[in-house]
Amino acid sequence: MAEVLHKVVNEERQGEAFAPFAEDPNTYNKKFYIESYGCQMNFSDSEIVASILQEQGFGATRNFEEASLVLINTCSIREKAEQTVRNRLQTFKSIKDNRPGMLIGVLGCMAERLKAKFLEEEKLVDIVVGPDAYRSLPGLINEAEGGQKTVNVLLSREETYADIAPVRLDSNGVTAFVSIMRGCNNMCTFCVVPFTRGRERSRDAVSIVNECKDLFDRGYREVTLLGQNVDSYHFVNAEGEEITFDKLLELVALVSPLLRVRFSTSHPKDITDDVLHTMAKYDNICEYIHLPVQSGNTRILQQMNRTYTREWYLNKVKRIREIMPDCGLSTDVISGFCSETEEEHQDTLSLMEMCRFDMAYMFSYSERPGTLAARRYEDDVPEDVKKRRLEEIITLQNGHSRESYKNDIGKTFKVLIEGNSKRSDADWCGRNSQNKMVVFPKGSHNFQKGDYANVKINSATSATLIGEIV
Ligand code: SAH
Ligand code: SF4
Ligand code: F3S
């Protein structure tokens, strides 16, 4: 296996498919099925697409065999992500062969990357739509119903879908994702996202706050603000006031003290002390930061165009812990980037030793066509070396995760109850502020989904805390 999406913590969304569930599937005469891959932004986009389709009289179904429209929202981040999508299309093909009239649409980053080529490569695909063109879906579906294959992969400098109320798919009714910006202006040399998602743009702060208020009124108790680089959020409102990310966080935190606020992803070069102080000031802003480091070596970081050094990153972590001693911290790491030496790989391990992340997503470098790295550098670290380095990174992180979870034994956390635990209906599961999953018996207490419970931790695995209500 060339690469691993290693889940040290139960992160249920990244890299997994999901089938949706609309609130009342029987009120619609046409049915669509949507499956999403990749990051949370992609899952969030699927909820925009569901909203656009519902307007057209389409209801969501969990069963693709009964859908007249099958959509797959794709990811291009690593080669394996694209391969997964191609395999999935083969499964859909066998169904389409027996169901004339069924339409298959490819959405998201792979649609954007491959454009019309998709129609040549995968004959069964009828519709190809990029991330900024979802408003054109109804027209494209119409044309496709008439037998015409259709493509719209135009990227936009303005589109944020601010006015579209997402239809929550596969929701637990407690936690929701809210997109605050789109695109990315950082040109990390390994990364395909700037090409598939276009230029960075921030969504109107008023529409973000209104969406959060509406979620709260409907019983949701946690929102995660999403962007590829949330710290560069920037919006000028009607009064000419500049709203930066720390201000936005505050506006959302003020919706209600009972609404928890999270965000993802922060960039080490952009996260400010203002953000950290705002997090510390409001109890309902969770003390958890996902801060992808990618490498612990300054030369490699420069080659990646991350624009910070090892020392800069270590200083940021120090600052976070000065301001919030109990802040949860996770990261992303890439092994075997172009020209990485053994010593440079050791720098990544030593940085991990110094930072002691609670959790990490770890990958081996996968060259993506068209990226700066693909054009400038040779992908010269042999696969077996990338894999061995990745395994060393994973082994080290597993130890740190175990230790981090073990250190929580004896502590008491405020946990937002998300629902029954996966293993037993007699147990609740939910997260603490630091984003760690906590499982505990319901006992005779009268708690409901969406309530907060104080839970004392009695034992731990490397991905779950187990406790009891106190
Ligand atoms: N915007 C986020 C990351 C988005 S992609 C950020 O800047 O941190 C999620 C993660 O996938 C990245 O952090 C990186 O670790 C990994 N990744 C991106 N491109 C990759 C590639 N070509 N090969 C391997 N991993 C990659
Ligand atoms: Fe990719 Fe870098 Fe943008 Fe993250 S910040 S999406 S890694 S280009
Ligand atoms: Fe993948 Fe696109 Fe997200 S490439 S990680 S789905 S922005």
Residue 161 lies in a domain: no
Domain coverage including residue 382: 175-406
Residue 158 lies in a domain: no
* Whether 267 and 391 share a structural domain: yes
**Domain harbouring 6, CATH code:** 3.40.50.12160
* Whether 288 and 346 share a structural domain: yes
Q: What is the DSSP string of 419-467?
A: EE-SS-TTEEEEE-TT--EEEEE-TT----TT-EEEEEEEEE-SSEEEE
**Domain harbouring 444, CATH code:** 2.40.50.140
* Whether 402 and 417 share a structural domain: no
* Whether 452 and 400 share a structural domain: no
* Whether 179 and 328 share a structural domain: yes
* Whether 255 and 398 share a structural domain: yes
* Whether 14 and 82 share a structural domain: yes
Per-residue pLDDT tens digits of the chain, which is 470 residues long: 222 222 222 233 333 344 454 445 556 679 999 999 999 999 999 999 999 999 999 999 988 888 999 999 999 999 999 999 999 998 888 888 888 889 999 999 999 999 999 888 888 899 999 999 999 999 999 999 999 999 999 999 999 999 999 999 888 999 999 999 999 999 999 999 999 999 999 999 999 999 999 999 999 999 999 999 999 999 999 899 999 999 999 999 999 999 999 999 999 999 999 999 999 999 999 999 999 999 999 999 999 999 999 999 999 999 999 999 999 999 999 999 999 999 999 999 999 999 999 999 999 999 999 999 999 999 999 999 999 999 999 999 999 999 999 999 999 999 999 999 999 999 999 999 999 999 999 999 999 999 999 999 999 998 999 999 99
Nearest to 423 by CA among 405, 402, 443, 440: 440
Q: How many domains, in total, are found in the chain?
A: 3
- pTM of the predicted protein model: 0.93
> What is the layout of strands, in order, in the sheet containing 103-108?
58-60, 30-36, 69-74, 103-108, 127-129, 150-152
Query: Best substitution site from 1, 188, 305, 363 to test ligand 1's pocket, by max atoms within 8 Å of Cβ?
Result: 363
Ligand 1 neighbours, Cβ below 6 Å, are 77-78, 190-191, 193, 228-229, 265, 267, 292, 294, 332, 334, 363, 365-366, 368
Tokens encoding 306: 């991350």
Q: What is the DSSP letter of 135?
A: G
* Whether 106 and 71 share a structural domain: yes
- Ligand 3: residue whose CA is nearest its atom 1: 75
Residue 392 lies in a domain: yes
* Whether 266 and 295 share a structural domain: yes
- Specify the ligand 3 atom closest to the Cα of 76: 4
Which of 152, 185, 204 is the last residue in one of the domains? 152
* Whether 145 and 196 share a structural domain: no
**Domain harbouring 390, CATH code:** 3.80.30.20
Which of 380, 406, 432 is the last residue in one of the domains? 406
* Whether 201 and 298 share a structural domain: yes
Closest ligand relative to 332 C-alpha: 1
- Ligand 1: residue whose CA is nearest its atom 15: 332
* Whether 73 and 132 share a structural domain: yes
